[in-house]
Structure 1
Amino acid sequence: MKISKPNKLYLIVFIVIASIFYFAWVYVDLIENERDILEKQNYKRQALSMQTRVAEMILTKQKSTVAMALSLANDENLRKNIINNNLSEKYYKNLIDKFKENTYYQNIWVHIIDKNVTSLYRSWVNDSGDDISGIRKDLVKVVKTKKISSAISTGRYTLAIKAMVPIFNDTELIGVLEVISHFNSISKQMKKFDVDSVVLLDKQYRKQLKRPFTNMFIDDYYVANFDAPVDIREYLKEHGVAKHFTSKYVLDHGHILTSHELKSLNGDILGYYIMSKKVQDISSTDLDFFVFKSLVYGLLTLMIVAGIINIFMLFKMRKQKKYYKNIMDTATNIVLINDKKKIFDVNKVFFKYFDTYKSIEDFREENDCICNFFVKENGYLQKDMDGVHWVDYLIENNSLNNKVKVDIFEKEYYFSLSASMISKELNHYSVVFTDITEQENYKFKLEYMSETDPLTKIGNRRCFHEKLESETVRALRYEHNLSLVMFDIDFFKKVNDKHGHVVGDEVLVEYTKLILSLLRKGDEFCRVGGEEFMIILPHATEDEAKKLAEKLRVKVEEHKKIVPITMSFGVVEYVKNEDLDLLYKRVDDALYKAKDSGRNIVVAG
């Protein structure tokens, strides 16, 4: 049977439409499969991020605990008391209370051991005089090597982070001072990232715990952090603890769970830091963008096919362009078509941002490229990327997370970008701008909050450590001087006791502004404790730093605003390749000498 020409046309159209539907079905299935793969990769990255973050926090706390131990061990009376075995029950009580008041460490323990690894003093209990060499191999090693050590360790009371400093009388080892900090502050910090924590001691150490500090257990696994959520503990008990001891992750009941091994000084696994985060709290921007990008590619493909069908059936380019334009206008992000020299077309969303122009022709009269609005800033796309045109760079690096900062008539936006070639013959490209301004601003806000002291609005302890590390690297690389000034307010406790903490806070704010006004632009000013401050002085010798400190001391004494106060200052200069913990100790010792010498003076270390 012969098929007529009209029927042939209908048959061809039917076959083309059926092919499009089949392609769409296959393409959507491919997108779903690829999205599943990307989702798993996202979970893997999230688990690795949580593991990395908690490892960094543990390392930071270990360093801080070592610094505390070094500071406490430099006490001449302690040596005498160890030799005379005369350590009172309240020996460190006031000092520990100050730690609680002025630092993030709310539960610091101090432990003093003699050279025979016999406990002489425990700040948290009245027990002493017991031989602990059998259960504390790390202490035995410190006594043997006579070296400072920091490790995660367990004894009779809990699993904790411990810093051990040998104490000498001249050259003779007479004992060890140990500062013990817990995981509670780390779990609180992790909570800021929507991560719940359960710190577990392995069940093989269950019998070793004679007086468990938290008195919480999951089966025979001891829970070392007080704030371990009840629902997570009940979940672990119901579903089994051991299956969550994984460097990968477990997905269950809308949560992602992973863990970090807690190892002793010898590399033995003591326990696990288990982390749980709700899946709904995990950012899915990359996945959403992938789906969007895939749909855009699919739509562009459909647009091309639709154009061919229009040409085949209607032989009119005008209708093809109208169809293509309607699809572009349905997009919620900026879509533009160009040939790297000129923009040919944009969708309606483009004019939501460039609202001073009525048409693309108006835009082209004043601008030859949208890249004229790109802001030059590290980490963001530029008009020229090391000699490569920005569109070519997008095409070559489409798998990267390309972002651009755009200044549109003094209003800044952030976009993620993707580009694809839509016509090799015409050399036409489509570029999609997805608005991520809200996400970027939120990220900047979080970064600012994590490094800023909420009261004085200057850098906090974390900011200080990061700036000091980067400045010492620069000092070594460019061989310039670097000095530190450490100071605090004399008798600040009396100010709080007499006038109240509100006035005390006003004093901190007022004198912070005063000191800030006297510093150079490149100086870093941070609050590292309650009334304790640090100034990092790049390109400054010890003498120059001492002159600045003296100037600050005089200005503070003369200021007399809110409440008249004075300050004591310690000054040191960084020595090439010096350990930062030692640098911190030196400036702390200099401040201690200033306070010990009558206060309201400057002492160089």
Structure 2
Amino acid sequence: MQYSTKPIYLLLLIILLISAFSCVNYFLSNKIEGLTKNKYLQTSNSLKNQIKEAIFNKKNSTFNVALALSEDNNFKKFLKNEKVPYPSLNVVSEKIKKYSNFKNLWIHLIDKNGISKYRSWTKEKNDNVSTIRKELPTLLKNPKVVSIISVGIFDITFKNIVPIYDGNQFLGLVEVITKMNSIAEEFKEKGIDLIILADKKFKNQIKKPFTKDFIGDYYVANLDAKSELKKTVKENIDEFLSIKDYKLIDNHIATTFTLKNEKESNIGYFIIFKQKKEIDLNDIYEFDKFIKFIGILLTLVVIAIFSSIHFYNKSKYTTELEKNVKRRTQELNELTKKYHQIFEGSKAIKIIYDPITLNIIDINASAINFYGYKRADFINLKANDISMSTVDKQKKEFINILENRQNVFISKNILSNGEIKDVEIYASAIQIDKKTFVYSIIRDITDELKEKNEFNKKQKLFYQQAKMASMGEMLENIAHQWRQPLSTITTAASGAKIKKEFGDLDDEFFYDSVDLIIRAATYLSQTIDDFRDFFKQSKNKENFKLSTLINTSIKLANIKNTDIEIVTVYEDCEILGYKNELIQVFLNIFSNAKDILNTTKSVNKLIKIEIEKTNNNITFSILDNAGGIKESDIEKVFEPYFTTKHKSQGTGIGLYMSEQIITKHFGGEINVQNINFLYKDKEYFGANFKIKIPISLNS
């Protein structure tokens, strides 16, 4: 008999559970929020302390270099005016850069009179720097060690000045200058990003900026500062510079350390970014688990109290529960059997991999049949044993699968007999016994790829046929365009010959005839160049103007020598793409319009070309007033071998190839519809071919 709880006790249990969970949740959420804020505050303070320590270390390191150089005999000899080779001083500077972390270190040598004797960054020397460096006169009179951070004409720098003595004789000063960039590089290795800024009051002072980088009026002192972080800071720089504790930005925690000089005046800022995922919140999570455990324990206590009230019915309920457990166990066994049937009995090829070792963990019968291995042999293989991909590539693919970045792959697999098959792999991560594996379904696409290659060959054949059809039309157009200039040449030559025979050939007539022949021959040559350029095979993209495209297409279609009026409405611009293929498209459309207009009795025959540029695309509208296309034919015009012309006039592949060129080669769109349109306040009706392509195929 099924155990039944009385409604009053059930209601009491629900109220107690809801109350307990509400109390625990309220306490937990507030406590977790407080702990998290405290953790972020601790992180912020730690980051500031790390910056402070890094500045201290850099300052000390620079001082140690300056101190060591003050004892260098070459420097002492140089200041005593002994003949020390000048390049030997440069060797000291270069060795420091080569064998230490000081990659941007400057050395300045000043004699006891304030004269600059050596600068490692320039050959300029022998100028009196004590007149422009206000701290030098005092140091020359009372030599002492000085260590400061300042902003100069180049950068924010650490400056360490140390006196040079030979015994008790004061010879001069050595000044060692280093930059902040090494601090940024040091922190980058720790996964912490810095943007080091000089205060905006130094904008005009920094005349030769080392990094050449500014955010507004603030000079950026570290190279390779992340551009996305600089953009974030630039959007609200005042807010970043005034961060007291910390600021949460997307996936980062940000804080700011203010750099001050010896007078406690602000000279720069370290804006520090650290990814939130790098902050250890395990103690907070452990606390969260502990409180939830208490909540669960409290819930169990409430349930235990409720169960005790009804203990007298427990024996009957336990019996029924055992029956339910047996039934559920049986159901689970059935589900397990069904899973094995789905996996093992599937006709699809299925393989389970270990993404770490690349071992094959399990396969189904279809995989055994496809690859030709025995099950025992198959299980001993690795993923790279059946794939032509390298081990590194396969590991990267498994990482992409586990992180759900890519789940479909095309690969070449090797069968047991050495045959290579093209396969398409659908893969995803699955959990088995708390361990993650890669579950893949494999499909043989070898025949599909062959069919695709065959289709591509047919496409090339279609394209060649279209070119051949165009060539026939071009030859006819060439013949038509050559009649007039050939007639001109013949007439001029004949006239000159007759006058010569009668002795009546004067110089004026002779030169006029020769000029006429030259102009006609030049026209013929230009016509040949136009048609030759059109038939050039070019797979390279090129820049060309709209005007060149339209004028060449009209000339090749030989429309200007007809009674058809051509109207163009566009603003000239450049296109990057395949010029000859686009001319082929327009030539097909113009030729079709010319042919249909030549069969009409319209008084005003018209082809109107409208071009509109929007964003990164350009749209062509080619309209004619030939009465449009039959509604029964308009859906078929882009089908291969469909034509409304006589078989002797058309092949039916011109518009099909035009559609293939626009969609496949330009990634664009082409369509046609019958419309009414206005020109000079008169309404016309005809076909409108609309083409939309990108202005640049690189966009």
Smaller-chain TM-score bracket = 0.3 to 0.5
- Which structure has the bigger radius of gyration? 2
The structure with higher relative contact order (CA 8 Å, sep 6+) is 1
Give me the TM-score of the superposition, normalised by structure 1: 0.47
